[in-house]
A and B are shown apart, each in its own frame.
Chain A
Amino acid sequence: MELGYALTRHFIATTTIFMDPVFTAIFVGMANRVLAKHQPDLFQIEGRRVVIEVSDLGKSIRIIIRLGRIAPTQVGPVDLRIAGTARDFCRLALRFDDPDTLFFARRLVLEGETSIGLHLKNILDSIDLDWLVPVSCLPAPLGPQIRQTIDRAIRRTHADRRLHNMLDRALQP
């Protein structure tokens, strides 16, 4: 038992030192890709620092908005603190729950400049996710045809709804 505890602690310490910068880099890279079209919106909160705390994992990501993009930043004062569990952040990212619901149900904490949080929330809500856009951009008739085939297959098998339900069940609070 004690050995297990020691190993766990060792594991957390090791991942914190070696993996956190990697996770932060992956998060920042993906976020910037998804937010590429929203640079003008991000410019409006230029220079603001935000810390996102995953309370149950004891992990946090510190970011700063710089030149309309997200960049990792060091320890220091922040303008906004967002805290919640890993599960609830996953539910947010998958749009199973909206930030207002989680916040008012006390599952999400928001401290500091509320307007930055609202701004980020509205940017997230306005992201028009369509993973098949790159496919349909392939030269015709290839791209549009592949897209049509995938669309039809999804409609026929209800794969999207099944995946949605499966993830929703797995992430039940």
Chain B
Amino acid sequence: MNDRKPELVCPAGGLPALKAAVDNGADAVYVGFRDDTNARNFSGLNFGPEDTARGIEYAHRAGKKALLAINTYPQAHNWSVWTTAVDRAAVLGIDAVIMADPGLLRYAASHHPDLRLHLSVQASATTYKALEFYHQQFGIQRAVLPRVLSLQQLWHTIVNSPVEIEVFGYGSLCVMVEGRCALSSYITGRSPNASGGCSPAESVRWEETALGRESRLNGVLIDRHGLNEAAGYPTLCKGRYYTDAQPY
């Protein structure tokens, strides 16, 4: 066991967020490009080419690190979009790329041997044996562990891990079976793994009705919130349903 202080890693969806993170004590900030190569692919969010360069410069000038998530899974027809993202990351001088797809990890390891690789939570590696595999095959230097693990499981993995471990200090309000959840695609045709978004905004509709605020996902009623009842983003897993008059 070592007594090194943990590094604080913070996500940023835009330049103001990156600056706030750097100014307020983050040791590293991770960002994503403005496309479906990361798991936070939402309209208007993330970094264009100019912003990415400025963000990296801002972090480096403050002695902080800038990481880039390319952590969704390419498919045969759009493979080059993901490899282009990896090439861009290498040119930009990013400190590490966070990836999940084994094919893409191999591409990065063979084309950019100096590029530091982190295993994304989207890879859903839950044991040190899995981490050993990624380490041996692609030379990953850090892994982000899924939020489904208990503290005991985390500890066991950390003690035996061949690489650095990153864990989430807090999560979003998702059931967090990262890399393995395709629920969203049953209704919307899109899921975080392939296109970087759960319940994409194009499929979401809210309507204020006499019965309350109705949330619909691609036309399917997910929830109905009464007056002043706190509402949430409509996802299939968090909807409230009635079967035989029993609420679920």
Candidate in A103, A126, A127 with the most chain B CB atoms within 10 angstroms: A126
**Residue picked from B201, B202, B204, B213, most chain A C-beta under 10 Å:** B201
Chain B interface residue number, banded: 20 to 34
Residues of B within 8 Å of A104, CB to CB, are 230-233
Sample of 21 A–B contacts (CB below 8 Å): A41-B44, A44-B43, A44-B44, A105-B230, A106-B213, A106-B225, A111-B206, A111-B207, A112-B205, A115-B200, A115-B201, A115-B202, A115-B204, A119-B201, A122-B13, A122-B14, A122-B44, A122-B45, A126-B14, A128-B16, A129-B16
A123 CA to B16 CA, complexed, in Å:
11
CB-nearest residue of chain B to A110: B206
Closest to A103 in B: B231
Verify if A142 is at the interface (C-beta below 8 Å from B): no
Complex contact A106–B228 (CB within 8 A): yes
Tell yes or no: B229 within 8 A of A by CB: yes
**Count of residues in A whose CB is under 8 Å from the partner chain:** 26
User: At the interface, yes or no: A120 with Cβ under 8 Å from chain B?
Assistant: yes
Is A114 interfacial (CB 8 A cutoff)?
yes
A125 close to chain B: CB less than 8 A: yes
* Contact bitstring A87-129, B, C-beta under 8 A = 1, else 0: 0000000000000000111100111111101111111011111
Instruction: Find out whether the CB atom of A111 lies under 8 angstroms from the CB atom of B208.
Output: yes
Cβ of B17 within 8 Å of any chain A Cβ, yes or no, is yes
List CB contacts (< 8 Å) of B1-42 with chain A: 13-17, 19, 42
Q: Which residues of A contact B206 (CB under 8 A)?
A: 109-111, 114
A58 to B230, alpha carbons, bound, how many Å?
Answer: 25
Inter-chain CA distance A120–B232, complex, in Å, is 19
| Complexed CA–CA distance, A40 and B16 (Å) | 18
Complex contacts, B207 vs chain A, CB 8 Å: 111
Closest-by-CB residue of B relative to A121 is: B44
Q: Are A118 and B42 in contact (CB under 8 A)?
A: yes
Which of A40, A118, A119, A125 makes the CB contact (< 8 A) with B17? Answer: A125
CA distance A115 to B213 in the complex (A): 18
Contact A122 B42 (CB under 8 A): yes
In angstroms, how far is the closest chain A Cβ from the Cβ of B29? 15
A-side contacts of B13, CB under 8 Å: 122, 125-126
Q: Which residues of B contact A125 (CB under 8 A)?
A: 13-14, 16-17, 45
Contact of B16 among A103, A111, A121, A126 (CB under 8 A): A126
User: Are A119 and B15 in touch, CB under 8 angstroms?
Assistant: no
Contact (Cβ within 8 A) A122 B43: yes
Nearest-neighbor residue (CB-CB) of B47 within chain A: A126
**Are B44 and A126 in contact (CB-based, < 8 A)?**
yes
Q: Which residues of A contact B44 (CB under 8 A)?
A: 41, 44, 118-123, 126
A114 to B200, CA, bound (A): 9
Cα A128 to Cα B48 in complex, Å, equals 14
Contact A119 B16 (CB under 8 A): no
